[in-house]
Structure formats: C-alpha cells, structure tokens
Amino acid sequence: MSIVNSASAQLSKLPSVDRVLGFPSVRSLVEEHGRAQVTEAVRALLADLRKRPGEGDLGEAALSARVAETVAARARPNLRRVFNLTGTVLHTNLGRALLPEEAVEAAVTAMRWPATLEYDVEGGGRGDRDKVVEGLLCGLTGAEAATVVNNNAAAVFLLLNTLAQKKEVVVSRGELIEIGGAFRLPDIMRRAGAKLVEVGTTNRTHPQDYADAVGSRTAMLMKAHWSNYAIAGFTSMVAQKEVAAIAHAGKLPCVVDLGSGTLVDLSQYGLPRERTPAESIADGVDLVTFSGDKLLGGPQAGILVGRRELIQRIKRNPLKRALRVGKITLAALEAVLRLYLDPDRLAQRLTTLRLLTRPEKDIAEQTQRLLPAMARALQGRATVTVQPMKSQIGSGALPVDLLPSCGFAVHTAGRGGLARIEAAFRALPIPVIGYIRDGAFLLDLRCLEDEKVFVDQLPALGITR
C-alpha cells in the first residue's frame, strides 16, 4: 500500500467529535468542566491527528487520555501556588510577602460580604476608605495622617505630581535609584512633571549641597532608600534629620522614600537594622512612603504617612482615584497592621518575620529529615547532599545582608543534566522553584513550611535521562 493510501486509511478511521464526546471517560470530563471546553479540546485533538496521519493511537483509551490532558492543561490557573526554595524570602517574581492567616481571613470576608469600605456606620453616611487603616498607620508611625495607593512607585509618583509639578526636587546623586523592572527615580520624577536637581556625588553628599540647591523653584528636598545596592568606602550621606532641618529653614517639605518599610526595629529579632517610618517622622520628615508587601509583611500597597495638610493635598489629586486600592487590599492590610499592636507575638504571627527569623538549626534539622525522601526520588538519576546556604531578604530590602540557612544540593553527570533536574522540579504538581549555581541545583529550605505536601509529591518527579 502506498504512503498516500495508508494516510487516507488512517484518516478514515478518525472518529467524529460526537463519538469521542460519547466515550465514558470523556463524558465525565464534560460533567466536570462543561461541554464547551471539552468539545473544543476534542476538535483540537482531531485536527492535530488529521495533520499527522498515522502518528497517533486512535484507540478509545489513548484519545480519552489526550483529551483529558488537554482539558487539564487549559483548566490549570495561570497564577499558581509554588514552593519558593530560592533562598529569597521576599521574591518579587513569586509574590513577595506571604500574608498571615488573619489577613487571609479578612480578605475572604471582604470578598464574600458587603463591607464598610466607604460607609460610616456611626454617622450613617458616606465614609473615607483610607479610614480603614489610617488610625493604625498613624498610631504605628506617629504621623498626623495617612493614605494608601496600589504600590510604592505609585506613592512616590503621586506625591511628586501633587507637590512638585513644574517645580524642582533636590535629591542626592547617590540616591537616584533604579529598582526591578527598570523603574528609575529620575524617570518617575519626569513623568510626574517634576524637575530633578542632583546634588553631591555618587559616594559623598554634604549638608551644604542641599542648602545651595534651594531656590525659588524648589518644591521639596527628597531622600530615597538604597533599594538594591550599597555604597561602601569613602562615603558621606546627610542624615534625614539634617535634610529635614535644611528643608524647614527654607519653608519646604522634606520627603523620604523608605522603600521596604519595616514598622519595627528588626535588630531585636537578630536581623540587620532598617530605618522605620516612625523614626523618619520623629526626625521631622514631612512625608514618608513605603511598601506594604515587603518587610511590613502585608499585601501589595504603597503607603504615605506624614503631615495632615500634605496628605490632604495628595488625596485631592484626581490621580489618587486612579491609584487607590480596593476593599480586599485594605482588609488584608488592616489585619496585618493589627498584628503589630501585639509585638510580643509578632515574630510568630507575621509570616514574613517568621521566615526571616527561622533559626539555622531548625532549617538544618528539617533538611536532614527530608534527605531520605529526596534521595529516593532522585535515585539513579542524581545525587543529593545537604549544604549550608545563605538566604537573602529580597525585594530591595537590606540588599547586602545574608541569612545563614541550609538546603539541598543536587548534582548530576552529563551536559544539560542540571537543566533537566531543574525543569523536573518545576513540572511537579506544585512547582518547586530553586536555582542553579556552582555546578549544582540548589534548594534552600528557609521558606519551606508545608513539609508534608512537598514530600508527598516527590514520587511524581519525572526526570528524562
């Protein structure tokens, strides 16, 4: 029989769409996912088989399995749970801060029921959504007023657009930061309509540099947190208190972008010290911006605290409505802020702080406990050893400080072996995200709390040779 005749014979054996939909296992897919999605998957499969006659099994079991695989792949959500074993606690690509249970419950309640987002129960009239968290933020920072937008970049943009449009903003050259996604402070300043005035040099700026830059077009003096880098050696930067005093002498506001925004002194937990919004307010800073989803440990948000008159001006900016947050974010943020009212239990209840303060000894014990399961899953394909590691905080918070940790180092022979190992872990039902470095695939266990689920899925690890 010729190739053409053989292909024609195969095509003639292709079942119809209705016949495939009638297979018992496909009917069960219809009940679970709906007729429209399953029918689309069947049509796509049959179209593929027509393009490649003779290359596919046309039996009922094989066709049903391929339809099920297609439907499952299409039904899988794009935003999926993963295991973050990268060693970076606040990993931007993996969602930054994990919310504590109190925040999750508050967000679910806000999603499920009507809520007092902009309703004053006592007065019976319209309320201000910022009131949900303003009292807590003021109490925790010492500020007169507060407002919240969708992230810290938006907070910086909004304050510049409100207070410095068509005017000058004085910033030290050493603080002209660029963070992830090519976000640069000079760019955001230009988009906000403000004119940047650089003072000092990359490594040294003095009080007189700020004072000399003040003129009739100056709107504010600004300081920005070193988000993803550090300058060491022959350096000199002006303290916030001094910059605030210079600004006030010229009847100007002083603004500080703290970036990561921890609300407590981290040194009490054995972590590197980071300046808090409360300290900036105490130094006389008029406006402070910081993130909700970094060291604060809450949902994505940009928080502004400071003088009431300046906050009110910012809230009157029409762009505030475009950048405001919804009830789910406010509900989660309120719940997280309330945890700070109980400092004695904060390190256990706030997920971010709990992960950052995990003792190295506990992580090492967990690694030894899970080593046999890892070795069984990799048997004959790779070797695994326990290795000390260094975790990092992430998301621009304390960029040069590392935390002692422990994890697995997976080694394999052959070119491309590590890439296959890494891909296999990503292909697990709950993808495991690690990293390749120094000839090994590394899994840092600092952020592994759901130990049982991690172990239970290891037998599904499929690694091609």
The CATH number linked to 160 is 3.40.640.10
The answer to whether residues 134 and 213 belong to one domain is yes
DSSP 379-448: TTT-EEEEEEEEEEEETTEEEEEEEEEEEEEEE--STTHHHHHHHHHHTSSS-EE-EEETTEEEEEGGG-
Note down the domain range covering 51: 3-75
253, with CB counted inside 10 A (0-12, 13-18, 19+), is: buried
- The pair of structure tokens assigned to 154 is 């938006």
Domain count, the chain: 3
The answer to whether residues 342 and 373 belong to one domain is no
Residue that terminates a domain, selected from 296, 327, 349: 349
- Residue 68, domain member (yes or no): yes
- Residue 13, domain member (yes or no): yes
DSSP 8-state code for residue 300: S
- Sheet bearing 287-291, strands edge to edge: 145-149, 302-306, 287-291, 254-259, 218-224, 168-172, 195-199
The answer to whether residues 345 and 373 belong to one domain is no
pLDDT computed for residue 234 by the predictor: 61
Question: For helices 35-51 and 24-33, what crossing angle results, to 10°?
Answer: 130
The answer to whether residues 88 and 129 belong to one domain is no
Contact assessment for residue 115 and residue 279, using Cβ atoms and an 8 Å cutoff? no
The answer to whether residues 216 and 87 belong to one domain is no
The answer to whether residues 405 and 296 belong to one domain is no
Rounded (5°) CA angle 356-358-361: 145
- Residue 246, domain member (yes or no): yes
Cα(5)–Cα(18) distance, rounded to whole angstroms? 26
The answer to whether residues 369 and 345 belong to one domain is no
- Residue 233, domain member (yes or no): yes
- Residue 63, domain member (yes or no): yes
The rounded radius of gyration (Å) of the Cα atoms in the chain is: 28
62, with CB counted inside 10 A (0-12, 13-18, 19+), is: exposed
Contact assessment for residue 448 and residue 458, using Cβ atoms and an 8 Å cutoff? no
Cα(184)–Cα(409) distance, rounded to whole angstroms? 36
- Residue 465, domain member (yes or no): no
The answer to whether residues 293 and 427 belong to one domain is no
The CATH number assigned to the domain holding 375 equals 3.90.1150.180
The answer to whether residues 165 and 312 belong to one domain is yes
Instruction: Per residue of the chain (465 residues), give pLDDT as tens.
Output: 444 445 565 566 788 999 999 999 999 999 999 999 999 999 999 998 888 776 667 788 999 999 999 999 999 999 999 999 999 999 999 999 999 999 999 999 999 999 999 999 999 999 999 999 999 999 999 999 999 999 999 999 999 999 999 999 999 998 887 765 567 888 889 999 999 999 988 788 898 999 999 999 999 999 988 655 566 666 678 889 999 999 999 999 999 999 888 999 999 998 888 899 999 999 999 999 999 999 999 999 999 999 999 999 999 999 999 999 999 999 999 999 999 999 999 999 999 999 999 999 999 999 999 999 999 999 988 999 999 999 999 866 555 568 999 999 999 976 678 999 999 999 999 999 999 999 999 999 999 999 999 999 999 997 655
- Residue 455, domain member (yes or no): yes
The per-residue b/e assignment along 333-348, b for 16 or more CB within 10 angstroms, e otherwise, is bbbbbebbeeeeebee
Contact assessment for residue 82 and residue 433, using Cβ atoms and an 8 Å cutoff? yes
The answer to whether residues 303 and 440 belong to one domain is no
The answer to whether residues 247 and 339 belong to one domain is yes
The answer to whether residues 339 and 193 belong to one domain is yes
Question: Could you give the 3-state DSSP secondary structure of residue 303?
Answer: strand
